[in-house]
Structure 1
Amino acid sequence: MAEKTIMLVCAAGMSTSLLVSKMQKAAEADGIDAEIFATAASDADAKLAEKNPDILMLGPQVRYMLSDFQKRVDIPVEVINMQDYGMMNGEKVLREAEASMAK
């Protein structure tokens, strides 16, 4: 089992799949034991219950869901920076997740 579990949520779960891949590569390169996965907003509740993530990161296109998730879960919930998302900067998004989990 991974030390940390990072869940990314986007509208359909497809656009974050490349970002997940880049985040996994960055984690492996830095020796970070993390399970990173993406899901569609419509499947988020089921995945929260199934995977019990340490942090929930929302794609910019679903940032309107931030306050709803913050009220319902007892883990950090962050919106992925739009520029990092657009550039698929997996390393930077991973750093943001780590910083939020460390708070």
Structure 2
Amino acid sequence: MKTVNIMLCCGAGMSSGFLAQKTRKAAKKRGIGGSIEARSESEISQYLDSIDILLLGPHYASFKEEMTEQAKPFNVTVDVIPQDIYGMLDGDGLLDFALAKLEA
């Protein structure tokens, strides 16, 4: 079974929480283990040692460079969730996006 640990980041973790829930369901259907969680920006540093990829809400795109620097020592990939995936709360789309970024 493939495993992946994904962290979603937005302001309060609310909208990304719904997206994380849908992404967990998509991963379960595909037999992918690991964790898919949503946290607020202020909590991210506590989790960098236990995730594979950090995905920022589109409204946090300006933090990508800063977060990438923070995540570098932990070999964590950082990217911004595409607006269409975020807006539609597309769990399958987000899982595809994350897996593609990890394979790149």
Whether the 8 Å contact between 2:26 and 2:92 is mirrored in structure 1 is yes
Determine the structure 1 residue equivalent to 2:77.
76
- 1:23 corresponds to which residue? 23
Q: Contact between 2:9 and 2:56, CA under 8 Å: does it hold in 1?
A: yes
Q: Who is 2:6 aligned against?
A: 6
* CA RMSD, Structure 1 to Structure 2 (Å): 1.3
In the alignment, which residue of structure 2 is the partner of 1:38?
38
- Identity between Structure 1 and Structure 2 (%): 35
TM-score if structure 2 supplies the norm length?
0.90
Paired with 1:46 and 1:76, the residues of 2 have a C-alpha distance of 16
- 1:6-53 deviations in Å (ceiling 9; x for gaps): 01000111111110111011001111112100000011112224xx10
Question: How many angstroms apart in 2 are the aligned matches of 1:93 and 1:15?
Answer: 14
Unaligned runs of 5+ in 1: none
Count matched residues: 100
Structure 2: gaps spanning 5 or more residues: none
Q: Tell me, what secondary structure is at the counterpart of 1:20?
A: helix
Distance 2:24 2:87 in 1: 17
Dislocated runs of 4+, deviation >4 Å: none
Higher helix share: 2
CA distance in 2, matches of 1:3, 1:97: 12
Secondary structure at the aligned position of 2:47 is classed as: helix
**SS of residue paired to 2:37:** strand
Partners in 1 of 2:14 and 2:93 — Cα distance?
Answer: 20
Give, in whole Å, the separation in 1 of the partners of 2:90 and 2:3: 22
Alpha-carbon distance in structure 2 between the residues aligned to 1:102 and 1:36: 17
Structure 2 counterpart of 1:102: 103
Please report the TM-score for the alignment, with normalisation by the length of structure 1: 0.90
The answer to which of 87-96 and 68-77 deviates more is 68-77
